Amino acid sequence: MNSKLDRRKKYTRMVLKESLMKLLKAKSISTVTVKEICALADINRSTFYSHFSDQFDLLNQIEEEIIEDMNETLMAFHYNQDEESLQMTERIVEYVAEKSDVCTTLFSEHGDSSFKKRVMMVASEHTVKNWLSIYPIDPEISEYVSIFAISGSINVLEDWLKNGMDKTPKEIAEIINNLTNKGLSYLQG
């Protein structure tokens, strides 16, 4: 009996999340209503409120799942050489590809603008520590280096999603990794 309730609860949450994502493709979170989400999900409002307090809470739950997944992915790597760095970057790009629909929506103008900042913070926490252990970066400028590399990487991912993922995750990971680790000098051969 409990497993049936758990499955029903998971299904309800999944349908509500999918419905919100569909609505966010066309409009911003501030204009989405619980009534619209419920109508699209074919779920009554009392059921919605038994899971989430409002549309912002639902969006926050979706974002938290992405952040947690990214954190777990990044924690699995403790790279100290370029090869491991590339593997980590490739895994993140593969994750973005797997969740392309959600990531495209969350990074769009209709998503929550703070989400991109949160993603950058998670990436920064993991990468700066590793960069400092590999490269002798002046601690006074390490934050700037991190912001530059991470915001550039996120923008590359956003563009890649907008372009219909026209390159493989491995190709995008190599571009990001080379630019991050070698700068524009890697283009010169």
The CA distance from 29 to 112, in Å, is 7
Residues 33-56: pLDDT tens digits?
A: 999 999 999 999 999 999 999 999
| Sequence-ordered alpha helix ranges (H) in 45-168 | 45-51, 55-75, 82-98, 100-107, 113-134, 139-162
Residues 129-146: pLDDT tens digits?
A: 666 666 677 778 877 877
Q: Residue 15 contacts by C-beta under 8 Å, 6 or more apart in sequence?
A: 41, 42, 43
- Would the pTM count as exceeding 0.85? no
Residue with tokens 């629909």: 101
User: What CATH code is assigned to 2-55?
Assistant: 1.10.10
The CA distance from 3 to 135, in Å, is 50
DSSP state of 165: S
